[in-house]
Amino acid sequence: MTSPLALVADIGGTHARFALVDDGEILHATVLRCADYEGPAAAAKAFLASNASDRSPRRAAFAVASAIVGDRVELTNSPWRFSIGATRDALGLESLEVVNDFTAVALSVRHLTPDHLLAIGGGTAEPGCPIAVLGPGTGLGVSALVPGLGGVWSALAAEGGHVTMAAATDREAEILGWLRRRFDHVSAERVLSGQGLVNLYQALSALSNRQAVFSTPDVITQRGLDGSCAVSREAVETFFAMMGTVAGNLALSVGARGGVFIAGGILPRMAEAFRLSGFRARFEEHGRFQPYLAAIPTWLIVHPLPAFIGLAAIAAPSENA
């Protein structure tokens, strides 16, 4: 018996990625710019029109960069606002499941293969223990996968990217102090995201009595990695180290002895620099619990669309994440 065709979408602050799921296979993955469409229904219709099939999807699962509370969804870093029910009806679907984007990534991690992962540091995953998932992109996504009775795993719908960022060094305290004068609250996302990298660069420029001449994360990353700008280099190094702080805090908070997976659109593009950075040392630098964290493995997810793997499990009625 052929399973129903399903529609999946990973909707971020800048891009919406769509695909079809047919018998567990992910087909026609397409990236659309959110700014080109009024909302997810219009974008989904454009995607379906360009990938015509003799079958229409009956089920769908969308991952969005936002907390999901009730029927109304408001994306944190995008002007898109939509009703889940109205979107389901507009697309002629029997069901539409909408989850946080990192809930979908969390549901994918147990299905990733070694070629989708870059190990950073040592440690060995303990079977049956919680798994932490986080990653920077337009925002900072955070989730965790926890085991339950009967071998069923559940992904937490968390908003850990908005926890208060802590300083681990005097220099970081200066950076966060400068940012606090600019923002009401300096969350982890304020420094660990695309705009967060710009914020770090601007703070470090001011603290170094230099003019901030770059305004995009891509340029700051390039200048930092090639060493042509000392402030950009420090911004990138600080970004990596602060990722270690937040990842270590998350691992301690959820008891992630099953490992920590890092996703998002930023770090896979500079995977080798991240692997060689101060991330892992900072991850372990948590005082008396350094040995506890040293035993936990950390991986960078290099699969281009891990959320689709989790969404396929949600959208396909026979699948069990």
For 257-313, write each residue's pLDDT tens digit: 999 999 988 999 999 999 999 999 999 999 999 999 999 999 999 998 899 999 998
For 26-44, write each residue's pLDDT tens digit: 999 999 999 999 999 999 9
For 65-119, write each residue's pLDDT tens digit: 888 888 999 887 778 899 999 999 999 999 999 998 889 999 999 989 999 999 9
Within 148-211, strands assigned E span 153-155
100 within 8 A of 63, measured Cβ to Cβ: yes
For 40-50, write each residue's pLDDT tens digit: 999 999 999 99
Instruction: Tell me which long-range contacts 113-116 makes (C-beta under 8 A, separation of at least 24).
Output: 116/301, 116/302, 116/303, 116/306
| Average pLDDT estimate for 201-223 | 97
Give residue 320's pLDDT.
42
What is the chain's mean pLDDT, rounded? 92
Q: Which residues contact 120 (CB under 8 A, 6 or more apart)?
A: 262, 274, 275, 279, 280, 298, 299, 300
Give residue 241's pLDDT.
98
